[in-house]
A and B are shown apart, each in its own frame.
Chain A
């Protein structure tokens, strides 16, 4: 006999969660030797650092060094996204369980999961001996990671499509390839394109930090200036990076909104 499932006791759940949160934070704080007074003194210390950064070092020599680096980060992010998009697009068809075989899709999804589990930085320094110090390493690291994430997102989009057009193509004598091209692609393209742009925004931040391990981009510049205690210049690096990210985010968000709206009108 099937008995209906008991709902979990709400009050008990509430207390358990609260206790879990408290225990978790206390355990972590004691393990890391963090006391409340460190939190209280932190803002003062941060303020010292911030005030050391102003006025910014806006000399032409500094700008000549920083701006190309920031641009390099932008290029890494863009190229990495394109690599991710190009490779993940076919893979996502294989990974989607409604257009490919069941076992095949499961294997592909696991592979994508494994790719996704490596952070870009780890990928970057594994690649460093092969591709050398420079933007190529960063591009590949960002690209490989993007294949994992974009593959997952796109395959989920493909799984959510309307099966009607596929059937009508099949009944009018279309092959499997025709089905994919005329049935699936037009349906998923707008959403997938907006995911690509979204990924580009994320990659932009990722590529900015890649310089820390020497994989090109603005990260190396920042860490060097901080190590040499050249705070005004470090401040300039930060400000230029923030401005670049803000501008790119705004443009990309506008394009994404346009794409999604375009789809709504068409349907």
Chain B
């Protein structure tokens, strides 16, 4: 395996890297000369849009995934055929990278944040579906049986005895996915799916790295801040 890598590296790693290093000036000179006021003026709204996309998509995606993952787990779905259908559906969604979803949705529903929301819904649904259905696989089957023995049907049994068991995990995964969505939504704009990425993309085309670098700093601050918040919330809830 290592040899495959080596062969590949030799094939592409030409020595013009050294030569191109002088091109670095082009980018570093501007990158370390941030134009703060321009960024504050133009990027704040887009940054808020980015966060809104992430909030909406992670909430919707996770709550859509909640019932799906019960169907995609052997513990709560005895019908083999539907189990495999749901399982492979979730696997299928998971194989398509988030930006591919965004591209597809921008074509399907038009440019703008709505496409980004749909893409991230798919993204969070896939991750939540996988994590949660694996958690459901390992729940304690006792309460489920007890509920059924006292006359509950399948749905009632799942709702009253399987759901409470996985709710803490669901909350933890939800916060984790929210973080992932924040990170992912930053780059959605590169393909025209709304958010701060759109501004980055336009400025990048004009090689205005002096305008990009403050935006990147803002993103960093926002991402780290939200991460700290969600770590705090997780500790509080669980």
Question: Which A positions have Cβ atoms within 8 angstroms of B?
Answer: 8, 13, 17, 21, 24-25, 27-29, 31-34, 38, 42, 45-46, 48-49, 75, 78-79, 82, 113-114, 117-119, 121-122, 125-126, 129-132, 134-136, 139, 205-206, 208-209, 212-213, 219, 222-223, 226, 238, 241-242, 245-246, 249
Contact = CB atoms under 8 A, between A and B. Distances in A.
Chain A, interface SS category: helix
Given A8-B236, A32-B56, A45 B109 contact: yes
B187 interface: yes
28 contacts: A8-B236, A24-B56, A27-B55, A32-B53, A34-B113, A34-B117, A42-B108, A45-B109, A46-B104, A49-B107, A78-B8, A113-B224, A118-B216, A118-B220, A119-B186, A121-B187, A125-B204, A130-B20, A131-B17, A139-B12, A208-B100, A209-B97, A209-B99, A209-B100, A222-B100, A222-B103, A226-B103, A238-B100
A25 B59 contact: yes
A245 B184 CA distance: 19
A55 B177 CA distance: 35
A213 B189 CA distance: 12
Given A32-B114, A79-B8, A49 B103 contact: no
Contacts of B16: 132
Taking residues whose C-beta sits less than 8 angstroms from the other chain, chain B's interface range is 35 or more
B4 A78 contact: yes
Closest 8 CB pairs of A and B: A28-B52, A209-B99, A28-B56, A205-B97, A49-B108, A245-B95, A32-B113, A28-B55
A136 B13 contact: yes
B56 A34 contact: yes
Interface stretch (B23-31, B34-42, B65-73, B148-156): B23-31
A29 B117 CA distance: 10
